[in-house]
Amino acid sequence: MNEVLVTATSAATQADLPNAKMGSRFGRMDLLSQLALLSVESLGVNFESMDRTRIAICMAVTAGSLPTDIEYWKGRREPGGPSPTLFAYTLPSSAIGEIAIRYRLTGPNLCFVGSRANLLNEARDLIDREEADACICIECDVVTAAIATITGLPTKAQARAAFLMRGTNGFLLKENHRDIESVCALVSAAEAARNSSR
């Protein structure tokens, strides 16, 4: 049986957003959704060539939707109350919804708040159980200065993504590969070693 492989990885930061060509809807999204979506776009995977009912999306978010929660709640004293558009993004899983809508992906979803340690493990499990044929994994850290003050977390705005599927051409995912950042580092090291041996 083919192993579960990482076939693509990517990263996106806030600095990448101004140059992103993602359509008008993109500008209306919260920062978490923008970063998550851009990281998935940067994977360069042709989802249309696959069975999109069988592609899962798993995401881990450091501080949930707290940055958007704060922005939304600032509107409580406005005459019309807080923004209904922002309310939709006061759920961390809204980013998964945006990814599903853009690429028409109707497979299973999982969204974790906090630890990313189980993300790849859960994604592999979905494939192993044949609940999905492939899985997009995203780690998204959006910690604004306001959130840093409340939570003590360091400020960050970045997303990393990985695409997992069965196959023979990619980076073999092992039990001890728990987060995308470390997998990206290993993929880069493997590519560097391959290039130097040529």
CB of 162 to other proteins, least distance (A): 19
Nearer to other proteins, 14 or 93 (CB): 93
Nearer to other proteins, 153 or 186 (CB): 153
Nearest to 164 by CA among 115, 116, 125: 125
Nearer to other proteins, 28 or 185 (CB): 28
Which residues lie near other proteins (CB under 8 A)? Answer: 1, 52-53, 57, 61, 63-64, 66, 69-70, 72-74, 76, 80-84, 87-88, 90-94, 96-98, 100-101, 103-115, 118, 122, 125, 128, 130-131, 150-151
Cα–Cα distance, 125 to 102 (Å, whole number) = 25
Nearer to other proteins, 22 or 70 (CB): 70
Cα–Cα distance, 80 to 146 (Å, whole number) = 24
CB of 127 to other proteins, least distance (A): 12
Angle, helices 31-41 vs 94-103, to 10°: value is: 40
Nearest to 140 by CA among 55, 41, 64, 26: 64
Cα–Cα distance, 34 to 21 (Å, whole number) = 11
